[in-house]
Structure 1
């Protein structure tokens, strides 16, 4: 069989120390203290996918998890879904079920969209505003150096992302990546990367962005880049990260790229896994 997809740390290793004490009374009480020590990759990655339950995305994400591909070789990850009911993604390396976090339905009135704006763009932005709030409640996102939001149909290699982000990593970094330069520097939403400090800055200023920017009808990626700019988050210009047909196409065998977009066929022999294998997949020792 092939080796697992290469990563600095495919999965965190966890050690447990258990201490048991018993009282000397007639009733025996047991107290168990569990301490876990986790080793992350360097820099560490918290990765997110947002899936629509109807259609190809959920089956595709389940196949990714089965092969420890895409976000499932990040240090930690979360999958968010619509549809009102949490969905089973798969079973994690610790034997626990991996479930999606449900995004509440959007109830806010759309209001007046700008000329040329679309309802879909507005709903997309609203959805992700909720995702970033849910990630805050989850809390794990704050333990990691970098956050990557990756589309389900992007073929993504976390170990390669680590190499790109390592030179920019420090505890106080407030940075996000502009990843396309086709029509001037832009953030393309198939893979969004920003530091923990940028996320914390966003949370503090989210209401300001919402109230000040004319965002109705904007796509989520356009909104986030403008919000980051407004809040003083620094830009990293890295146009070698992403191979996206809407920006710059690169064949999947170009192993310099961190993600390839878009490949929608969810079957094990379909386009997503063809691309994954062509780019190294589980057999590439360089990641």
Structure 2
């Protein structure tokens, strides 16, 4: 049997019930390898041709989240067809990838300032980049010389993670330069950054470290120019564009970051630390005596729980209201089903 091309198309995204593979093959093989047809049939077309005998579900390329992304290393007729039909790759949007200042050669549609000139803007460029919504100041803590430094270096090189926010800072136990389109110098915090682990919860006992981080952030005061302050762990898969869509005022009940003192409760079990979101007004309250008072009040036991427990109890004690949004975090410790970026969060 011979076919000129195409019979492997679709295999990279097929999920089969193991016990049914042999039965399905017997049905579709004569359809795929039909020499009476000029190019034989592509596998997905062959499945469509036998849909009266085989039950299957085809995930459309426009579905988000979908099942896969097809890499375009050597060109793809399907990618080109999808791009032409949809005005942009279905999986690549400015909301998910962020608004960039530079051209990304691997993307079929762009989210940079020149995309109108070259007629290659993503379909949501205007909504997300020209009307970008609330501004975000994002920060993280990096242990110098650890895997966190490697992760952040990689993120910076492509403008991912916190480097897709309106502004950002990297705090560390040492002065380190991260190299990218715009180099980033870490801001050194006082005190040790090594921590133990809770015997009760097996989580990092890192409250003291993050008290130092917040104090440094308050001293620099860069956050004050932005609507929301976001703390993200270095190993959190963080997509700022998606978060901004949550934070738009009056959307899904969200308040205004400048006028309302709120934080985002991201888990039904309580605030969890991979990502913490605080309005600008709330951050100002936290800065203006709030953190100092919470330390004096002993709002949490630093020998048992971590910084997220301290923060949530402190913010509540300060009268900072919470907005419940479990859509900003997908985490196994919060009962989530962690998947390779398929949750849509």
Which bin holds the TM-score, normalised by the shorter protein?
A: 0.5 to 0.7
CA contact 1:117–1:216 (8 Å) conserved in 2: no
Corresponding residue for residue 245 of structure 2: 163
Query: Which consecutive segments of 4 or more residues in structure 1 shift more than 6 A?
Result: 1-5
CA contact 1:11–1:74 (8 Å) conserved in 2: no
Distance 1:117 1:229, change over 3 A: same
- Whole-Å separation in 2 of the counterparts to 1:119 and 1:179: 17
CA contact 2:189–2:212 (8 Å) conserved in 1: yes
- Whole-Å separation in 1 of the counterparts to 2:265 and 2:224: 22
SS of 1:135's equivalent? helix
Q: Deviations over 1:227-261 (max 9, x none)?
A: 0000000111111111112111242342521xxxx
CA contact 2:177–2:185 (8 Å) conserved in 1: yes
5+ long unaligned stretches in structure 2: 1-71, 74-88, 103-111, 114-129
After superposing the two structures, state which structure 1 stretch, 142-151 or 211-220, moved more: 211-220
Offset of residue 55 of structure 1? 2.1
Corresponding residue for residue 228 of structure 1: 315
Corresponding residue for residue 144 of structure 1: 226
- Whole-Å separation in 2 of the counterparts to 1:134 and 1:44: 21
Corresponding residue for residue 176 of structure 2: 87
Larger Rg: 2
Distance 1:51 1:76, change over 3 A: same
Q: Deviations over 1:161-196 (max 9, x none)?
A: 001111324221111111111xx4x11000111101
Distance 1:255 1:246, change over 3 A: closer
CA contact 2:262–2:282 (8 Å) conserved in 1: yes
1:238 aligns with 2:320: no
Corresponding residue for residue 156 of structure 2: 65
Offset of residue 116 of structure 1? 5.3
What root-mean-square deviation, in Å, do the aligned CA atoms of Structure 1 and Structure 2 show? 3.1
Larger strand share, 1 or 2: 1
Offset of residue 58 of structure 1? 0.2
Q: Deviations over 1:73-115 (max 9, x none)?
A: 1000000111xx310112344xxx31111111249xxxxxx99
Corresponding residue for residue 80 of structure 2: none
2:211 to 104, 111, 129: 129
Count of matched residue positions in the alignment of Structure 1 and Structure 2: 218
5+ long unaligned stretches in structure 1: 15-38, 108-113, 258-287
Larger helix share, 1 or 2: 2
Q: Deviations over 1:109-162 (max 9, x none)?
A: xxxxx99599951xx111111111111222220011111111111111000000
